[in-house]
Structures are given as structure tokens and as C-alpha cells.
């Protein structure tokens, strides 16, 4: 393992330079979809019931309304998997006779203003004959359950199983077997900006420009054009500034298809801005899973075998492009986490219900499986009478590359090192003493550790394992120095808050000797950027960063060749720095700007030895790399009310070479805050009729700054051969580890009561109910 020491001061990489994207955003000059003027405004009429048949739609006189019958020529959204017993189901753009979840669009009305559209939509009467809705995945599994899609044989839409040979033989040798039955409730990613779309028809070319809040502009273009049956050259998709996505904006919104269709029909511009209620009930949900997990341990506390059963509630439809396999199949492949376990037997199913469709949400299943696996490890530690960290020490992988029981190849990492670093930084021994003193005084403090891996930056080989019809992978970067000497990097990724413009500029700057402020990164416009997959799965820095580096290396080679011509020196004697090429050890130099001029306007001087222009392409499609981290939470549980107070959070993480430490820290902070919300507060609740009770931010509770404690960060930088920039991804890690650490800390605090909180969010009601059931509560509620 090599550890890189940064701060040599000579490179842009490794420095916390200020984000190049921020001046516009913090001075109100950001450009968001909802700010755009339009001729027509759309309002969707959404189903007020979860399951039923549409009998009649009545619109007031003169209302402009679109219903499914107007869209008969459009194909449904129907993503495909070729494996895992996947059952393809179609999602119509507007409900076609049947409604399958509360909030599904039944009609679209349009009017000259947003307000008028809303008032008209209010007057549309929809008569629905209600059916019996399925809300919980367990109910949908029952043999006699009604079918969410009548053309399927059962509600299981995807099912995977991995069983290693000889599993039962290993299982039999177990010294102890521990069991966890866990429940992760449904959540919404709640980006600050809800969804919005704007489609404008251009009369002269017949093209439509769709501006929308997407994480994947090119895939949106492909999907919309496939559904409408038009060439991709007739549609331009633009993602302007996007206020967070967290996965919710990576799946195709049917609403965008409607907008493009309507703009073409009206030959005009049409827009839609989602309100928060729509976002909470009808965008996409996530994390609704039931997980059963058993672990067999030998005498020394070594994990021998894992047996799991995962049921993911994927809602009423399958999201495009990943399909709803994304949650259950991620869980299936990654459940063993960072532990060395050779025997594995797990089944994972995605089940349809009459609920809002599931889409990826930061971490995708891993926040859930990490929480469940860490519960198992904590229970095992208790059973063996050792510190949870000691049990982990005996099981964490430490030889690389490590091929897991599910066939994943872990590159160099620092699973044990980050945990030891965290134990030291938090001072575990001192905490245990403080915990004891507090308990004697009737106060319940707890500490929780979560050690986990974060698979990042994976290209097409990894996605191919899922058998996706649309297999994400490569990224391409077009890098140009134009005649003015400025640099433009056009990328296929589509950042929406991550600071990628800055990080990529730092990578390119080191290679071509031009400062980041002269490097513009262009993204989010299918007319300007190369076909790419967008931003998700902690991939953009690794993939677009790698592609940027490859392109920059080519530019560098060309610049050296040109400089060699101008300076009459060998390329290996020339350096590129601060905008000039210098002959080492002399004062001879030439500016890169003047060479750029020459590359376009004085090409004759190179006598055909150097090709005209200064544009290079880099494409990168790596196998993937694993980041890792140890999260530590310290909490106090108020046993009288069940309330959890976060005292402190600590992260020791390793994402390889850190390009911009400030940006990396920001990613971790945000992820941890979301993870704390997932662990304690956020829950989408349906009543038994399928109505959502949490349709406002007064009921669905993201954390505020006052619920987030101080977060202390420590870094290890393991340099991997699996990423050419040596950087690993870290977009999701904060959210993956935090729920597990928080819930572990709650359980540690409550260990005197002999209960186990295996549900998230761990609300005060649930904690208090568990405490009551322990029968060990002191009568005055104060001291045990």
C-alpha cells in the first residue's frame, strides 16, 4: 500500500482551491430551469387513490387537457434486464385506464400561466373505481395478492440468488449463529430543488430543447426520443444549474416526455415546475426494504458464512434506465461488505406495490445493507463479549486485491487502518469510562462504529454483470485549447452541486501547465458535450477525471512537441507551467497562448509535422475501485421519551488521492447529514388505503443544522492502480455509513435493556416502544 503525502505545494491537485462554480451560485446568478419563461404552463392532475380504474375524466369548458388517449402513439417507459428473472412492465406517460399509485399523473392541463394551470387542474374531475391497494412488499408477496400489473404472473419483478458451493457444509461448522431481522422504511431523497422541465420548439429546425433538472442529459435524450419515435438529433437536452439530485433526478421523469411531446404539438414552449408535495408523493422513493440476515461465526469470532433474504419494495413501475433491479441487485452483490467471508447464500427480490416507484438514492441499498450487516456484527460482538471494533478487526479484509464471495474485486484499501484511526481519534477507552459514569447517573450514552466499502467509479464491465439493456460505463472528455489560449473541457458527466468543474480543472491544470481559472468545464448540454452517462454512483471524478487526464496527456504531448519546435529544445527538456513552456535550466520560454494561436492560425510553420488545432479526446472505462471508511457516532438516548441526541460524528475515510480536500470534505459532510436524517427522522408513511401521510415538509422530516452535530474528518490516501488519477469516488460514502453508525450507537446506549433497534428511522416512538417491551424501565423513568 502506498500512501501519498500531499501538500508539496507544486501541484493543483491536493489543494483546497475555491470552487469555480460558486461565484454565480452565491450571487444569485445561477440559472435554474424554473426561472425560464414559457408560453404554456403544465399542471399534472394526479391520482388521489393508490389503485383503481379510471372511469371518467371531466374537464371544464375550454380547458386544454391531455390524457392517455392523446398519447396512444407513445411507447411506455419499459427498461429491460436480461437476467434475474426480470419481468418487464411498462409505465405509460399518463395513466392509461389504470392507476397504480397515489400521485400518478392522469392528465396534464396547460394554460398561459402556472397559476391558471393549477386552477384549471383543480376543476378536473376524475372518477376512479377504487381497487384494493398493496402497500407493503410482504403483502404483495402473498400467493393470493392482487397483481399491480395485470399482465404479470406475480408481483415479484426481479429475483436474484447467489449461493457459494458447499455453503451448508460451512454453515454446519458454526460455533455461534446470530440473526437480524431488519426493516428500512421508505424515504425520499428531497433535493433542495424539486424537479422542473421546460421544452421549447424551434420553428426553423423543428428541434426541441428540453431544459430539465436531470443528472443524465444524454440518457434523457435517448429515452425521450425512443418513446416519441424521433431521431436524437431532433432533441437537445440541457441540465442547467441543478439543485441537488441524489439519484432522484437520474431516472427518467415521465413528465419530461409529456413536455417534449406537447412542445412539438403546440410548436411552442411549455414548462412544468414540480411543487414539494408532488416531489414527496410522486417523484421517486427509496430504501423501502425488509432484510433477514444470519451470520455463522467460528470460535474466534471469525465470520464463516452469511445467509440473507432481501425484499425491496420497488413501487408501481420500474425506473429507467437502471430498472428497479438497482436496489435488490446492489444489495445482493454487496451485502458481505468489507468482511472476509467465503460462504454466502442470499436471495434478493424486487416486489411491485401500489406505491410511488423506487429510484436510486445516494448509496443505493448500501445504507440499508450496511446498517443490517453492522447490526449483525454488533450482535456477534455482544455474543462473544468483545468490543464491536475487536470483532471487526478479526473480520475486515486486509489483503488486496481481494475477491469477494460474490465475485467483486476489491483493490487496495485501508479498512483496518481507518478503523484504528477512528478508534484513536474518538478515544474509545475514554468514552467507555464516560459512558459508565453517565449510566450510573441514569444517562444513556452510546458509541457506534460502521466500517464499510463504497464501490465507486465503475465502468461498463461492472454494470454488465446486471444484464442491463442499457449498460452504463465509459466517460468521454473533449479537451480544447482555443486560439485565445483558454481551455474548454466538455464532459459527459453532469454534476449538480459536487464541484466537479473545479476538481477536473485541477487535474487538467497540472498536466497542461495552465491555471484552473483559465479552464472552463462544460457539461449538461447534449449539443455541447460528448455522449456520456451523467453523474451518479460516485463515478464522475473517477471516470470524467480519468478521461480528462487522458485527454490532457495528449494535449501535453502536443504542446511539448510545438514548444520543442519554437524553443529548439528536446521535448523532455521542456516543462509546462503557469501558462508557458520553459526549457529547464534556462530562461527560454514560450507562452501556451501563443502556441495555441499558431496551432490554428500559423499551421504552416510546423511544416506538416504537427496536426492543426488543439483538441484531444479522452475516453475512460475502468473496472471500478472501492473507497472505504469508518464512521463513528456518539449519541445520548433519552429513555423517557426515546429521543436521540447526536453528540458527535467522526469519519475516517479513504478515497484515494484527494483532488480538492475542501470539496471532498463537503461531500462527506452532506452525506453524513443525509445519513443522520435517514437514521432518525425521514420516513414516507402510507396509510392502509395507500394515501401518503407525509406529503409536506412538516411531516417528512429532513434534518436541519440543529440536528447535525460537529463532524470530524480524517483522511487516509491509498493510491490505487484501478484509477488512473489515483482518486476514488466518495459521493455516497457519507450517506452509506452514517445510518449504521447512528443506529449502532443507539443500541450501544441501550445495551443495559437487552433490546435491539433494527429499524430505521429509529424514531423516538419506536425506541420508547422497544424500551417498554424490555420490561426493564425504571418506574420513575429516571434511573435504571
Partner 1 sequence: MKPAPFTRHVPRTVDEVVSALAEFAPLDGRILAGGQSLVPIMAFRMARPAHLIDINEVEGLDRLAVDGDYLSIGARVRHGAFHKPVIDGPLGKLLAFVVSHIAHYPIRMRGTFCGSLAHADPASEWCLVAATLDAQLVVKSVRGERIVPVTDFLEGIMSTSLAEDEFLAEARLPLLPDDTKFGFYEFSRRAGDFAMSAALVTYRLVDGVIADAHVGIGGAEDRARRITEAEDVLNGQAPSPELFVAAGEAAANAIEPLEDIQTTAEYRCDLVRAVTRRALERSLQ
User: Could you list the residues that contact partner 1 (CB under 8 A)?
Assistant: 114-115, 118-119, 122, 275-277, 638, 640-643, 681, 685, 687, 693, 696, 698, 701, 703-704, 706-707, 763-765, 768-769, 772, 780-782
Comparison of 120 and 519: residue with beta carbon closer to partner 1: 120
Nearer to partner 1, 524 or 709 (CB): 709
CB of 754 to partner 1, least distance (A): 19
Closest CB to partner 1 among residues 277, 302:
277
Spatial CA neighbour of 55 closest among 18, 2, 117, 106: 106
Closest CA to 483 of 592, 566, 396: 592
Among the residues of 111-172, which ranges form H helices? Answer: 114-123, 137-141, 167-172
Pick between residue 488 and residue 707 the one whose CB is nearest to partner 1.
707
Instruction: Report d(CA 742, CA 739) in Å as an integer.
Output: 5
Closer residue to partner 1 (CB): 43 or 393: 43
User: Within 13 Å of residue 427, how many CA atoms lie on the same side as its CB?
Assistant: 5
Nearer to partner 1 by C-beta: 113 or 586? 113
Closest separation in Å from C-beta 705 to partner 1: 9
Decide: 696 and 684 in contact? Cβ < 8 Å: no
3-state secondary structure 697-748: CCCCCCCCHHHCCCEEEEEECECCCCCCCCECCCCCHHHHHHHHHHHHHHHH
Nearest CA-CA partner of 318 in 84, 474, 496, 108 = 84
CA pair distance 572, 750, nearest whole angstrom: 65
Q: With respect to partner 1, which residue has the nearer C-beta, 571 or 764?
A: 764
> Which residue lies nearer to partner 1 by CB, 638 or 712?
638
Q: Which is nearer to partner 1, 586 or 774 (CB)?
A: 774
Q: Name the strands in the sheet holding 52-58, side by side, starting at the edge strand that comes first in the sequence.
A: 98-99, 52-58, 125-130
What's the closest the beta carbon of residue 647 comes to partner 1, in angstroms?
A: 16
**Which cell numbers hold the place of 359?**
429510484
CA distance 323 to 385: 43
Q: In whole angstroms, how close is the CB of 185 to partner 1 at the nearest point?
A: 11
* Of the candidates 327, 315, 325, 401, the residue with the CA atom closest to the CA atom of residue 361: 327
Indicate the residue among 123 and 129 with the shorter CB distance to partner 1.
123
The helix or strand, by DSSP H or E, that contains position 128, with its residue range, turns out to be strand 125-130
Q: How far is the CB of 734 from partner 1 (least distance, A)?
A: 20
CB of 688 to partner 1, least distance (A): 9
Q: How far is the CB of 412 from partner 1 (least distance, A)?
A: 41
Query: For residues 279 and 389, which CB has a smaller minimum distance to partner 1 in the complex?
Result: 279
- CB-based contacts of 264, cutoff 8 Å, min separation 6: 201, 208, 228
What minimum distance in Å lies between the beta carbon of 709 and partner 1? 13
For residue 102, what are the CA distances in angstroms to 1, 45, 245, 315, 687? 52, 11, 22, 11, 11
**Contact between residue 290 and residue 308 where contact means Cβ atoms under 8 Å apart:** no
Q: Tell me the closest approach of the beta carbon of residue 739 to partner 1, in angstroms.
A: 17
Rounded Cα distance, 536 and 718, in Å: 23
**Residue 608: which region, alpha, beta or left (left: phi > 0; alpha: psi -120 to 50)?**
left
Q: Return all residues near 460 (Cβ < 8 A) that are at least 6 apart.
A: 471, 472, 473, 474, 621
Residue whose CB is less far from partner 1, 161 or 772? 772
> CB of 118: closest distance to partner 1 in angstroms?
6
What is the rounded CA–CA span in Å between residue 684 and residue 764? Answer: 16
| Residue closer to partner 1 (CB basis): 233 or 641 | 641
Least spacing, CB of residue 484 vs partner 1, in Å: 46
As a whole number of angstroms, the distance between CA 37 and CA 114 comes to 11
Q: Which of 334, 285, 308, 290 is nearest to 694 (CA)?
A: 285
Kind and range of the H or E run holding 265: helix 254-266
Nearest distance in Å: CB 646, partner 1: 12
**Does residue 100 sit in helix, strand or coil?**
coil
- Is the CB of 67 or the CB of 763 nearer to partner 1? 763
475 alpha carbon, distance to own chain's centre: 17
Tell the smallest beta-carbon distance from residue 380 to partner 1 (Å).
31
> Smallest distance, Å, CB 106 to partner 1?
17
Amino acid at each position: 500500500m502506498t500512501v501519498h503525502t500531499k501538500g508539496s505545494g507544486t501541484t493543483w491537485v491536493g489543494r483546497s482551491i475555491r470552487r469555480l462554480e460558486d461565484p454565480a451560485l452565491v450571487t444569485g446568478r445561477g440559472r435554474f430551469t424554473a426561472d425560464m419563461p414559457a408560453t404554456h404552463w403544465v399542471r399534472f392532475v394526479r391520482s388521489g387513490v393508490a389503485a383503481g380504474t379510471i372511469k371518467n375524466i371531466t374537464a371544464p369548458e375550454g380547458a386544454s387537457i391531455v390524457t392517455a388517449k392523446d398519447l396512444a402513439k407513445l411507447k411506455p417507459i419499459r427498461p429491460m434486464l436480461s437476467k434475474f428473472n426480470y419481468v418487464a412492465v411498462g409505465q405509460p406517460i399518463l395513466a392509461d385506464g389504470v392507476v397504480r399509485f397515489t400521485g400518478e399523473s392522469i392528465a396534464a392541463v396547460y394554460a398561459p400561466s402556472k397559476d391558471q394551470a393549477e386552477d384549471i387542474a383543480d376543476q378536473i374531475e376524475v372518477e376512479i373505481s377504487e381497487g384494493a391497494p398493496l402497500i407493503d412488499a410482504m403483502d404483495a408477496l402473498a400467493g393470493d395478492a392482487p397483481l399491480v400489473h395485470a399482465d404479470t404472473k406475480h408481483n415479484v419483478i426481479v429475483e436474484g440468488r447467489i449461493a457459494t458451493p458447499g455453503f451448508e457444509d460451512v454453515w454446519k461448522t458454526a460455533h455461534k449463529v446470530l440473526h437480524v431481522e431488519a426493516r428500512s422504511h421508505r424515504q425520499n431523497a428531497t433535493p433542495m430543488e424539486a424537479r422542473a422541465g421546460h421544452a421549447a420548439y424551434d420553428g426553423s429546425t423543428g428541434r426541441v430543447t428540453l431544459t430539465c433538472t436531470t443528472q443524465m442529459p444524454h440518457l434523457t435524450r435517448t429515452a425521450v426520443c425512443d418513446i416519441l419515435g424521433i431521431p436524437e438529433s431532433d432533441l437537445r437536452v440541457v441540465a442547467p444549474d441543478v439543485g441537488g439530485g441524489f439519484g432522484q433526478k437520474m431516472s427518467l421523469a415521465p413528465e419530461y416526455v409529456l413536455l417534449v411531446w406537447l412542445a412539438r404539438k403546440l410548436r411552442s414552449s411549455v414548462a412544468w415546475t414540480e411543487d414539494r408535495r408532488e416531489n414527496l408523493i410522486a417523484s421517486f422513493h427509496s430504501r423501502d426494504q425488509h432484510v433477514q440476515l444470519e451470520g455463522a461465526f467460528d470460535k474466534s469470532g471469525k465470520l464463516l458464512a452469511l445467509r440473507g433474504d432481501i425484499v425491496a419494495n420497488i413501487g408501481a413501475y420500474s425506473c429507467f434506465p437502471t430498472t428497479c433491479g438497482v436496489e435488490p441487485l446492489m444489495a445482493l452483490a454487496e451485502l458481505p461488505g468489507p468482511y472476509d467471508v467465503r460462504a454466502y447464500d442470499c436471495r434478493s427480490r424486487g416486489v411491485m406495490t401500489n406505491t410511488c416507484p423506487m429510484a436510486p438514492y445516494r448509496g443505493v441499498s448500501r445504507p440499508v445493507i450496511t446498517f443490517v450487516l453492522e447490526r449483525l456484527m454488533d450482535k456477534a460482538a455482544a455474543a462473544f463479549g468483545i468490543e464491536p471494533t475487536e470483532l471487526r478487526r478479526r473480520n475486515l479484509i486486509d489483503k488486496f486485491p481481494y475477491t469477494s464471495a460474490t465475485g467483486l474485486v476489491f483493490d487496495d484499501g485501508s479498512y483496518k487502518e481507518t478503523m484504528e484511526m477512528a478508534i484513536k481519534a474518538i478515544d474509545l477507552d475514554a468514552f467507555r469510562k464516560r459512558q459508565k459514569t453517565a449510566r450510573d447517573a441514569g444517562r444513556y450514552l452510546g458509541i457506534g462504529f460502521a466500517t464499510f466499502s463504497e464501490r465507486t467509479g465503475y465502468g461498463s464491465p461492472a454494470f454488465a454483470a446486471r444484464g442491463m439493456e442499457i449498460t452504463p460505463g465509459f466517460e468521454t472528455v473533449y479537451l480544447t485549447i482555443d486560439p485565445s489560449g483558454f481551455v474548454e473541457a466538455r464532459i459527459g458527466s453532469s454534476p449538480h452541486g459536487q464541484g466537479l468543474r473545479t476538481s477536473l480543472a485541477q487535474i487538467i491544470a497540472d498536466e497542461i501547465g495552465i491555471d484552473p481559472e483559465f479552464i472552463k468545464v462544460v457539461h449538461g448540454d447534449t449539443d455541447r458535450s460528448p455522449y456520456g452517462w451523467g453523474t451518479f454512483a460516485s463515478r464522475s471524478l473517477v471516470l470524467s477525471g480519468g478521461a480528462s487526464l487522458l485527454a490532457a496527456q495528449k494535449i501535453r504531448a502536443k504542446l511539448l512537441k510545438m514548444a520543442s519546435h519554437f524553443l529548439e529544445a528536446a521535448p523532455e527538456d521542456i516543462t509546462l507551467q503557469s501558462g508557458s513552456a520553459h526549457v529547464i535550466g534556462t530562461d527560454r520560454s514560450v507562452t501556451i497562448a501563443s502556441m495555441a494561436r499558431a496551432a490554428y492560425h500559423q499551421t504552416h510553420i510546423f511544416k506538416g509535422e504537427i496536426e492543426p488545432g488543439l483538441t484531444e479526446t479522452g475516453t475512460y472505462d475502468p473496472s471500478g475501485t472501492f473507497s472505504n471508511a469508518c464512521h463513528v457516532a456518539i449519541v445520548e438516548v433519552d429513555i423517557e421519551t426515546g429521543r436521540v441526541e447526536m453528540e458527535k460524528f467522526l469519519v475516517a475515510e479513504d478515497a484515494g488521492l484527494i483532488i480538492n480536500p475542501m470539496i471532498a470534505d463537503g461531500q462527506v459532510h452532506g452525506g453524513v447529514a443525509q445519513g443522520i436524517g435517514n437514521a432518525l427522522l425521514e420516513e414516507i408513511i402510507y396509510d392502509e388505503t395507500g394515501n401518503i401521510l407525509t406529503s409536506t415538509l412538516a411531516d417528512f422530516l429532513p434534518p436541519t443544522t440543529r440536528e447535525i452535530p460537529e463532524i470530524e474528518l480524517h483522511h487516509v490516501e491509498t493510491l490505487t492502480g484501478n484509477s488512473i488519477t489515483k482518486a476514488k469516488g466518495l459521493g455516497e460514502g457519507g450517506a452509506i455509513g452514517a445510518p449504521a453508525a447512528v443506529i449502532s450507537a443507539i443500541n450501544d446506549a441501550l445495551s443495559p435493556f437487552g433490546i435491539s433497534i433494527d429499524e430505521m428511522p429509529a424514531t423516538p416512538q419506536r425506541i420508547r416502544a422497544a424500551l417498554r417491551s424490555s420490561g426493564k424501565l425504571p418506574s420513575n423513568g429516571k434511573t435504571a
